Amino acid sequence: MRKSFPAILTTLSLSLAALPATAQTVPDLAVAKDLLLPCQEADNDPRDGFLAELECLTYIRGFVAGVTLTDARTRFCFPEANREDAVRRAYVRWVHAAFAKRGSLPVGAALLAALDESFGCQ
């Protein structure tokens, strides 16, 4: 019985490897309202707000890091403390200011416009 277990395991793994791979679908480009919900839930829900905040801030951190690698040093003046939270609040305010028009913008364009409005260097 002991000697047959590796043979069964090998046969099983080879049969699984022969199965056709399914293609992953790429999601549509996210729009501003898609990021708005987790960014709002960070403030609204004391239990699950942590997970929503993590989703929102992770996106914002990556976006700000990418922008910083380009021309952000001269274009944006970010606060020293609580940068991600300040950007999150600015984004929520910016989208809500004209939700009907801004909610369907690509999320990157909306976030960049919110950064320009709130943190553009004078």
Q: What is the pLDDT of residues 87-111, one digit of tens each?
A: 999 999 999 999 999 999 999 999 9
Residue type, 111: L
DSSP assignment, residue 80? S
Residue 83: predicted pLDDT:
86
pTM beyond 0.95: no
* Overall domain count for the chain: 1
Domain contains 40: yes
User: Could you give the 3-state DSSP secondary structure of residue 46?
Assistant: coil
Residue 89, burial from CB neighbour count under 10 angstroms (0-12, 13-18, 19+): middle
Q: Higher model confidence: residue 65 or residue 43?
A: 65
Residue 99 lies in domain:
32-119
Kindly tell me if the per-residue pLDDT of 121 is higher than 70.
yes
Q: Higher model confidence: residue 113 or residue 54?
A: 113
Domain contains 11: no
Kindly tell me if the per-residue pLDDT of 72 is higher than 80.
no
| Segment 11-56, tens digit of pLDDT | 555 555 555 656 555 455 589 998 888 888 766 766 666 777 788 8
Kindly tell me if the per-residue pLDDT of 9 is higher than 60.
no
Crossing angle between the packed helical segments 49-69 and 107-119, to the nearest 10 degrees: 80
Domain contains 5: no
Domain contains 13: no
Domain contains 21: no
Domain contains 88: yes
How far out from the chain centre does Cα 85 lie? 14
Domain contains 70: yes
Domain contains 16: no
